[in-house]
Structure 1
Amino acid sequence: MLTGDRPTGALHIGHYFGSIRNRVKLQRSGAEIWQLIADYQVITDREVAGDIRGSVTNLLVDNIAAGLDPEQATIFTHSSVPALNQLMLPFLSLVSVAELQRNPTVKDEARTAGITSIGGLLLTYPVHQAADILFCKANVVPVGRDQLPHIEQTRVIARRFNDRYGHVFPEPDALLSEAPLILGTDGTKMSKSKGNVIELRMSADETAKKIKGAKTDAERHITWDPDHRPEVANLLQVISLCEGTDPEQVAAEIGDGGGGALKARLTDAVNTELAPLRERRNELAADVGYLTSVLAAGNERANQMAEATLAEVRDAMGMDYRTLV
């Protein structure tokens, strides 16, 4: 299994319910976990990377605090694995510019970032992700629904490479979470750039304040109606994910309690769910030596895997020059 995060800021509950919990479940089931911190992808839609070192540290801390075990999972950074990134060259030869321009996720990323002219790195973002997934022969990728076009592009690249050069890569499948899309506190797509997120590192009081300002609607009686009351349904969904209950049941229990009761229950549910993670997070953040050693070990293993895969690709393409006889 391969999954990853861009270090553009702290992770939030959208990441947690959309992907991180699946990572931990897969780890417990015995799956081989590859966890990418996609530092190169930070500059796909922005001119500067910001405090990228701090963001990389935050991602490392959040994932371990959530339950990812560095003894079982390989956690690594893009920029530390040259052979992975070199796979982009043969992969780019397998896709057309028109295919890349049609990718809806690329368009959405550009629109969210306010980009009117898509740069080369953002345009080839799906190919870079294909290299991320295929370098370790991943066959399962936990994603949100908005990332499905990227997984399909990866499958296309794997299929075309295998057809042209012989079978090297599996065609990976997407693993959708139980919550493929969680809205932000303003009722739109949750995004760090919009400031509408509940970060995993927030204190209980900060979480309560954020939820207090969450958008609902004018109707007092709480019902489960995702089609007509998306903001209310979103909050009910998060409660159900935290408590392991049915959102319709939660709505019935709150009933005439209105938005105030809904937000109070949500605050309690989120803070209870994240309390162990936050406690572990504080411990990890204080142990810089341990975090450094985890990333160094992960980068070393990722390099070994990437170099082996690149050698296999060169051999399949007839570009292995270790002997000319």
Structure 2
Amino acid sequence: MASTSSAATLPTRVGAEDAPRRRGALVRYWPQYVAIAPFYVLFLVFGLFPVAYSFYLSFTEWDGASDITFVGLAQYQYLLGDARFWNAVGNTLIIWVGSTVPMLFFALLIAFLLHQNIRFKGAYRIAFFLPNVTSMVAMAIVFGSVFSDSFGLANGLLRGIGLPEVGWLTEGWSIKLTLIIMVIWRWTGYNAIIYLAGLQAIPTELYDAAKVDGASTWRQFVSITVPMLRPVILFTVITSTIGGLSLFTEPQVLLANAGGNENSGGPGEAGMTIVLYQYNQAFTQFDFGYASAIAWALFVLASVFAIINWRLVRDREGLVERRRRRGGEAR
């Protein structure tokens, strides 16, 4: 009985002994806790609270001034049948796929070439990264001038070679193509720098051995660079997926004067993306409840595509590993 009683009181004693120790640690390390406290305070105020509050607002109807009215799942039910929302989803997916695939391919190719022994590598890196730090407003003005229907450089070149002009900012597919070109131009250099950092971690002995075996530059790129960069490629694919599905600034600035409404996404809402539609609902229509529902729908959509990309790369890595094991067993 005595042993049972002592065993039963052991956790209580241990907890009682740990409490003063924890309080002593708090007192001892309070300067460190105070030093890191601003980050957590700012995160709670400007990060976690807005996210939680937007989730609450998605179940309400609120115009930002009157009383909040709880409507349950009505906002999500309306979203499922909203043709304008699904048009924005389709536009976003087309622009995302049309820009991400060539952008990451060109970025990987540029990084591979910059990794070679060429002159003025620093100048090339700055030149490729410069679009990413260029003002979006300035970039939109330049692209608006280049792709203007009446006096743009693009139509001038088409006229010069005898081809018909294109309504770059007034026709559906032309608007999407212009936005795709704009995204590729802005983000290719950024991803190229990330790939270049990953390339510098690949042992040079692999390339030296491949050269001794007579492998061409393309074979080195396919057999060494791409497999060794798979984790970095996964990172850029996921970030590009999130960025592509969250596209807002490019269509909002480029198409501000097209379609008669600065937030319309151009004629026929051909450039209306999910985030631009959410912004329109929140700050033009003042329907913050529905805008919050759109935001959470976008979160679910981005999460699904990110998980799909991650699973595809992981399954590919597992397949390669199984093939290596089978090859080793065969030997």
Which TM-score tier does this pair reach, normalised by the shorter chain? under 0.3
After TM superposition, the score normalised by the length of structure 2 is 0.26
Question: Between Structure 1 and Structure 2, which shows a larger proportion of helix residues?
Answer: 2
Bigger Rg, structure 1 or 2? 2
Structure with greater strand share of residues: 1
User: With structure 1 as the length reference, what TM-score do the two structures score?
Assistant: 0.26
